[in-house]
Amino acid sequence: MPDPVEEALKFVRAQRSKEAYRAVISYFLRWSGLEARDFVERASSQPKWAESLLVSYIQSLEKRKLSGSTVALYLVGLKALLEYNDVAGINWKKVKKAMPPARSYGTDRSPAVEEIRRILQFCDVRSRAVDNYSHSTRVYKSILKLSFIEMTEDNVLIMTTLYHLDRALWQTKTRR
């Protein structure tokens, strides 16, 4: 019998998704103390056992204070493992009901014009460009990272990095 993890990952196209699924499955198997093959075989013969194990796993992730969106990412890899290895009988609706609610980002708001003006008062030219970009595209400060690299009495070296999906898009160093 081929390795169930590799069997499931054969059908996943994106390399980053494969890596994420592999990590999530590995974490689950360490948590459960099971080998992948044993888990898949037992889940095939006892789907209610697998369902209850998945619910317990979700509850343990929730105790670690992970958000509902993060828990959903953990679950998607396990669902792929089971579905691509032809495990049937798991009530995924019941498993999803055990998940913590995911935060909705629809409640975020764009900053008011006056708020943008106040922010721009304290920016240098390069930071203004990033700030204008972030507000015009609804990309908020949460993806801007400011690092104070060196500080002396007369100036400060600040590094500003703009991130998108955990990738650095733009970086500048400013002396003040």
Express each pLDDT in 110-152 by its tens digit.
667 676 666 666 666 666 666 666 666 655 544 555 444 555 5
Instruction: Output 95 or 102, whichever has higher pLDDT.
Output: 95
Q: How far apart are CA 1 and CA 38, in angstroms?
A: 11
Q: Which two tokens stand for residue 84?
A: 């691509």
Helix pair 68-84, 47-63: axis angle to 10 deg: 160
Model pLDDT, residue 89: 92
pTM of the predicted model as reported, rounded to 2 decimal places: 0.59
Q: How far apart are CA 17 and CA 13, in angstroms?
A: 8
Residues comprising the chain, all counted:
176
Residue 108: pLDDT band by 50, 70, 90 thresholds? low
